[in-house]
Structure formats: structure tokens, C-alpha cells
Amino acid sequence: MKTVVVGMSGGVDSSVSALLLKQQGYNVIGLFMKNWEEEGPCKATSEFEDVVRVCQLLDIPYYSVNFVEEYRESVFSQFVADYQAGLTPNPDILCNREIKFKVFLEKALSLGADFLATGHYCRLDDESRLLRGLDPNKDQSYFLHAVKQEAFRKVLFPIGHLEKSEVRNLARQHNLATAEKKDSTGICFIGKRDFRPFLSQYIALKPGNFETLDGTIVGKHDGAAFYTLGQRKGMGLGGEGDAWYVVGKDAARNVVFVERGANHPALFSSALQGRDFTWVAEEPTYPLRCTAKVRYRQVDTPCTLFESGIVEFDEPQRAVTAGQSVVFYQNDLCLGGAVIQNTLH
């Protein structure tokens, strides 16, 4: 009998993953990760209590592991550094590569497991290459594009072929404690926060100017790190005319550039320069015709990737943001991706 360690988060997706694997005849072990520590009531405590309830109902053993130090060193420190540099990072991608499918996978295998399973909405083909989840509204391959094929050879995604509604129904049918639990949101393993006071604990923020592209000062901001390309709310800018949108930042000058109108030309890019490319399997040949996403849940857009790392879009894309990731696909196959270094108009 094969042994599978299921990464149990205290949510419905990992709970149903454990249920399905047990039904399929695997020897299932539940393993909970604690990756964040702070004073006061701890969200991880309540999450682990839900893990215990589910594992007891399924009659499977459960354990907890602490990766707080690894998370701070490998994920959170980079997250803070990127914001200090004026970027808008995506810590979920780094967390999957460095924590879930590296140190957590190693821990699962050290317990004698044949596989690690998680509740991600994605699939693997026969060669352990990454495929989209079948539910287009929940597909999470975007966040897993930086994980290597070698790691995926020891991974199972039990719910990747299901829609979210089916997962909920399975949880209800089997009386799982997490059946009606809302999906987690916010920063990976830290959760949803009041972002400004949270970030200000780690970054020295200083007020600066909102400027139009011609240099006109139109207001004051609390700190450039709080703002991202395409943002409309939370700036305190008014006056007659269309709403103001963030169209750029100058970290060196601590300036946030704004212009009026949701479709201002400065919000659109015909190309981008990528860096830190990662490929799930082999690197493709260039130029590569494929589709790409520059944010989660975006509809794919056709593009051409060149060996220089430049990505040219067939149609200009709105709010392509430095620090986020561009992820490449050929049909359902997720090829890999890169960090967006800058945009090219």
C-alpha cells in the first residue's frame, strides 16, 4: 500500500483531497504546516483544530510541523525586499517553490511517504508536467509554474479534475468540518491583513508625491510601497473628471505617477522584459509562440517569447506590473514563467 502525506491547511480543498485518497486505498497521513508566528490569537491554532476534526473523522493520523524560520528566510524576506525596491511581489509563487514543494515535500518523504498531496486545483500529465486544473475559475497552475518536474514526480493533486462546487458537495456528503469554510485569502500563510499597518511593521515608509506624467504634483501619498499599477482606490485624489489610476512608480524619487481614466495609454504595454525564468520541464526553443498570463485568473493572451527574455503580446495588455509573474502556456500545459522586470510600450 502506497503512503501519501496530505498537506492539510484546515480548508475544504485539502480535506477533500485526504478523503479521496483514503477512498482510493492509500495509507493517508495528514500534515499541517505552521509558517507564521506572531503575538495574540493565532490563526494557525484554529486552522490546526479543523485539521484535527477532519483527520479524526477520516480516521487518519495527523501531525504538525513548524517551518516559521524557513518561511521567513526563503519567502518573507524576499517579499519585504521587493516592496522596498518598489515592486509588487507575489509571495505565493515563492512559497510553493521554496516551502510547499521543497522543505515540506522533503519532510513528507522523510516520514516514509511515497507522495505528497495538496489541495491545489491543477493536474499532472504522465510525464509529471504541470497542467491547468479543470475548473477555470480555480485553476492554480499560475502559482505553481516555478516548481520543477522532478518535484512533481512525487506529488499528487487529488482534486485537480474537479470543480469547486463538486469539492464542496463531497465535503458536505461526508460531514467534513470544513465543508462550509470560506476560501483563504491574502498573503500566503499570513492571511488577509490590513495591508498598510502590516507592511509598515517591516518597511520604513515615507510620504511622497502623486505626480502626473508631465510632472504636475496632484497630491501626497503615505509611501510608494502601498500602491500598485492600475490601482484606483485608496489614494484620496478627487476633483472633476475621470477617476485617477496609478500608472507607474519611481522608487528612487518616492513618486507615484497617476493619470485619469481606466484606459489611459500609460496603463497598457505591448511587451515586457522578464527575468529569473523557470521551466517546469525543458527550456523551450525560441522564438516561442504560446499564450501567457500576467496575473492570476486573467484570460490567456497570445504572445511571442524571445531568447532575450522579451515577451511581445499580440494585443497590448493592461496593468502589467513589475515584480509579478508572467506564466506561459500551450493549451493546458503550463510551461513555466518569469518575474516581470519592466514593461515596454
Mind listing the pLDDT tens digit for each residue in 52-77?
A: 999 999 999 999 999 999 999 999 99
The answer as to CATH 3.40.50.1860 being correct for domain 3-173 is no
pLDDT given for residue 219 in this prediction: 95
Within 10 angstroms of residue 135's Cβ, the number of other Cβ atoms is: 18
pLDDT at residue 345 tops 90: no
Catalytic residue among 55, 122, 188, 334: 188
95 catalytically annotated: yes
pLDDT tens track for 84-132: 888 999 999 999 999 999 999 999 999 999 999 999 999 999 999 999 9
Residue boundaries of the structural domains of the chain: 3-173, 206-262, 267-344
The answer to whether 206-262 and 267-344 have equal CATH topology is no
Which comes out higher in pLDDT, residue 10 or 190?
10
Q: Cα(96)–Cα(71) distance, rounded to whole angstroms? A: 11
Superfamily of domain 206-262: Adenine nucleotide alpha hydrolases-like domains (2.30.30.280)
Catalytic residue among 55, 95, 122, 334: 95
188 catalytically annotated: yes
pLDDT at residue 29 tops 80: yes
Q: What is the third-level CATH fold of 267-344?
A: Elongation Factor Tu (Ef-tu); domain 3 (2.40.30)
Which comes out higher in pLDDT, residue 18 or 345?
18
Q: Which range is least confidently modeled, 7-21, 22-36, 174-188, 279-293?
A: 174-188
Report the DSSP beta bridge partners of residue 246: 258
Residue among 276, 209, 263, 215 nearest 237 (CA) = 209
* Longest distance between any two alpha carbons in the chain, whole Å: 69
pLDDT given for residue 189 in this prediction: 53
Instruction: Find out whether 60 and 28 touch, Cβ atoms under 8 Å.
Output: yes
163: its cell numbers: 470543480
